[in-house]
Amino acid sequence: MAKTSVIVVGTGGFGRYHIGSMIKQEKTTRIAGFVEIAEESRAATRKLYADAGKKRVPPFYDTIAGLVKAQGAADCALIVTPHKFHVTHILDSFKAGMDVLVEKPMVLNESEAKRVIRARDRTGRLLSVAFPGSFSVAVQKARELIAAGEIGPVVSISAHSHQNWKAFTVGKWRQDPEISGGGFLFDTGSHMINTVVDLAGADVAELAAVQDNRGAPVEITSAVSGTFKNGVFFALCAAGDSVNCQSRIVVMGDKGVLITGAAGELLQIIRPGKPEPEAVPAGPWMSVWERFLLVRKGKLANPCPAEVGLRFARFMDLVRESAAGSEKVRAR
């Protein structure tokens, strides 16, 4: 079986998380090289390989163009750079003839998302946004249960996400709005938003939002409520000055309730007359990279195309507009 070759663009903390998973999948994956300009991240990546008992470390380059010129394009690119640079790295990868798996959020705003979609359509390349919730078997199973009427028509969805995000991002690019594009809701909270919209099965119609920076350069706490275009209500709470990194999403129908997490880390159902939730079998867990390989082989429909990135960008544009004006706004 031919291996899929991939370049990793960005070998910071999350980049190394993905690399650590990939180097365990030698039967399916060959890492052809890295694009990284920070020597600290390069050194940490070399250590990751050494700790895994790997003697050969793929070469490093400063740019995608430099890598392609030196050794040719790979089958695909995994992009894990600061958010501001996603759009450039996506377009450069398409230009080189590579499919793309990009960390969330795909881009900073609606305008950039539309540029990505036009480039994808022009080049015919594949793009997936690395939202683990959309890729998870638990969220896919939840959507199937909703479609089958297991909990009746969905009435409302509530969700919360909390993390000690503010403390561990102090002084880092994630708290620089010019580079990150936003704070906790835009970063970790994007998982919650994306999974909620997946489960609602419709785009947002209107929302109202309040946000507080809590002394940081970007938003740390957020509360967002509104309705989707199919009439489903939603209420979201994001606390980036809390503890741990957890989330819960509760989908309320008129005949039952589903409970999951932003990344699909569990799936439970509450049925009429049974107040305690029961676990719902969903299937074996697979990493986003493993699921992406199935998408490339045509064995799995792409759960996170560029349109999902556009959907999130539009949602966040509405959140910012509402929070800035302290009023409810409608989708255009």
Structural domains of the chain, ranges and CATH numbers in brackets? 4-131 (3.40.50.720), 133-286+306-330 (3.30.360.10)
Q: How far apart are CA 7 and CA 9, in angstroms?
A: 6
Residue 113: predicted pLDDT? 98
Neighbours of 332 (CB within 10 A): 6
Residue 2: predicted pLDDT? 86
Q: How far apart are CA 262 and CA 136, in angstroms?
A: 10
Helix axes 39-51, 13-22, angle to 10 degrees: 30
Q: How far apart are CA 264 and CA 27, in angstroms?
A: 26
- Residue 53: pLDDT over 80: yes
Q: What are phi and psi of 164, to 5 degrees?
A: -85, 50
Residue 331: predicted pLDDT? 83
Least confident of 32-41, 117-126, 152-161, 284-293: 284-293
Q: How confident is the model at residue 280 (pLDDT cuts 50, 70, 90)?
A: very high
Question: Is 272 in contact with 256 (CB distance < 8 Å)?
Answer: yes
Mean pLDDT for 19-39 is: 96
Query: Running DSSP on this structure, what letter comes out for residue 294?
Result: H
Q: pLDDT tens digits for 283-295?
A: 888 999 999 999 9
Q: pLDDT tens digits for 144-187?
A: 999 999 999 999 999 999 999 999 999 999 999 999 999 999 99
- Residue 134: pLDDT over 90: yes
Residue 1: predicted pLDDT? 65
Mean pLDDT for 299-315 is: 97
pTM of the model: 0.95
Question: Is 296 in contact with 126 (CB distance < 8 Å)?
Answer: yes
Residue 10: predicted pLDDT? 98
Mean pLDDT for 271-283 is: 92
SS3 at position 99: strand
Mean pLDDT for 111-138 is: 97
Q: How confident is the model at residue 88 (pLDDT cuts 50, 70, 90)?
A: very high
Q: How confident is the model at residue 125 (pLDDT cuts 50, 70, 90)?
A: very high
Question: Is 221 in contact with 214 (CB distance < 8 Å)?
Answer: yes
